[in-house]
Amino acid sequence: MLAAWTLLGIGSQIVLGIAALAALPGVVALALALVSGWPAPIPWAVVSLGASYAVSLHGQRTIDGRAPLVGGLLVLVAELAYWSLERRTPVGDEAGLHLRRVASVLVTTLGSAAVGAALLAVTSVPLGGSVTWDAFGLAAAAGAVATLALLSQRS
């Protein structure tokens, strides 16, 4: 569904075809991972779906406001795919584990969309400067996100 949604509204048939071709390996990789139980194709599926979205932006003159939502949905696809593979293990579940996992997936998904929206907002502020200032702002925001990610892994 994510692949189809990102393809909606593409005016050029050529761009539509290239974006669909970019999404196809992702859909196949995700299906392979879910059918076989092998998790290795999941990151490639997410990369392929993200590339399809990037191709769908070709020719746009403005920043796409859907970018944070698409990023959050890509995280959701990966989280749900990994969770479905984890459910295949014959280990007994602790009481309330499913609710905690749902909460974790929702927080991760919404958090990634929020970070994407913040980065989009930071880069959309006109500074009266050049592309250099935009690049500097984006690098600073990405550095802040990377720092937060590293700190969260230590906790």
Q: Which of 25-34, 36-45, 59-68, 74-83 has the lowest mean pLDDT?
A: 59-68
* Residue 139: other Cβ atoms inside 10 A: 10
Q: What percent of the chain has pLDDT over 90?
A: 36
84's CB contacts (< 8 A; 6+ apart) are: 34
Domain assignment of residue 15, yes or no: yes
- For residues 72 and 109, the answer to whether their CB atoms sit within 8 Å is yes
* Residue 75: other Cβ atoms inside 10 A: 19
Domain assignment of residue 128, yes or no: no
Task: Give pLDDT, residue 9.
Answer: 66
Tell me the average pLDDT across 38-47.
93
Domain assignment of residue 149, yes or no: no
Domain assignment of residue 56, yes or no: yes
Domain assignment of residue 151, yes or no: no
Number of domains in the chain: 1
Domain assignment of residue 118, yes or no: no
Give the Cα separation of 20 and 125 in Å (integer).
32
Task: Give pLDDT, residue 34.
Answer: 94
For residue 26, the enclosing domain spans: 2-92
pTM: 0.76
Give the Cα separation of 155 and 150 in Å (integer).
9
Give the Cα separation of 154 and 103 in Å (integer).
21
- For residues 134 and 123, the answer to whether their CB atoms sit within 8 Å is yes
Domain assignment of residue 138, yes or no: no
pLDDT in tens, 77-105: 999 999 999 877 776 667 788 888 899 99
Domain assignment of residue 85, yes or no: yes
Q: The tokens of 137 are what?
A: 């702002």
pLDDT in tens, 109-132: 999 899 889 888 877 777 666 777
Task: Give pLDDT, residue 4.
Answer: 67
